[in-house]
């Protein structure tokens, strides 16, 4: 259908209008399916990397950049890593409930980041907290690791 309307031409049939609407709906559904498939591939690649590879120098440098950017902005805390809660052994339940054993539910790179924090960050006075940062459909979505360097509360 063109944007120009010829008032002297016969109107489109109801069937033609319905088909036009159906084609547009099908195109929209195709675009949504393509976007969903791309997102699923992206998540599968992230999951594969998260569970089977180790924390690399680039990721460590990224954490340091995030901290330095937060310091430049006058902040005492920065979210330095995030991952889907489904990658925890309990889908993020212990983190969401603030249970003291939440580190035991970590796997893959999240577990490595936590171990690096325990080895390097904690002795330097940093604190790390993990929290659910979104709740799509009312269930825990992503987990965020927040590194904090504020002075201890008295």
Does residue 112 sit in the same domain as residue 41? no
Does residue 75 sit in the same domain as residue 37? no
Instruction: Please name the residue that has the structure tokens 């979210």.
Output: 79
**CA separation, residue 154 to residues 5, 122, 128, 147 (Å):** 75, 18, 18, 19
Q: State yes or no: pLDDT of 53 exceeds 60.
A: yes
Distance of CA 43 to the CA centre of its chain: 9
Domain that holds residue 110: 56-148
Mean pLDDT, residues 81-94? 94
Does residue 41 sit in the same domain as residue 107? no
**CA separation, residue 18 to residues 2, 22, 36, 132 (Å):** 16, 6, 27, 45
Task: Count Cβ atoms within 10 A of the Cβ of residue 149 and give its class: 0-12 exposed, 13-18 middle, 19 or more buried.
Answer: middle
Share of the chain above pLDDT 90, in %: 77
Does residue 78 sit in the same domain as residue 144? yes
pTM of the model: 0.74
């Amino acid at each position: 259908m063109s944007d120009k309307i010829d008032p002297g031409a016969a109107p489109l049939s109801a069937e033609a209008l319905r088909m036009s609407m159906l084609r547009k709906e099908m195109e929209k559904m195709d675009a949504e399916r393509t976007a969903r498939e791309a997102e699923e591939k992206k998540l599968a690649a992230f999951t594969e990397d998260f569970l089977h590879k180790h924390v690399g120098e680039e990721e460590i440098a990224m954490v340091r950049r995030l901290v330095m950017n937060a310091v430049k902005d006058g902040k005492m805390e920065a979210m330095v890593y995030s991952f889907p809660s489904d990658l925890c052994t309990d889908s993020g339940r212990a983190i969401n409930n603030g249970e003291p054993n939440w580190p035991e539910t970590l796997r893959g790179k999240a577990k490595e980041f936590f171990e690096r924090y325990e080895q390097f960050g904690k002795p330097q006075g940093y604190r790390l907290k993990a929290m659910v940062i979104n709740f799509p459909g009312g269930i825990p979505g992503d987990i965020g690791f927040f590194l904090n360097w504020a002075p201890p509360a008295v």
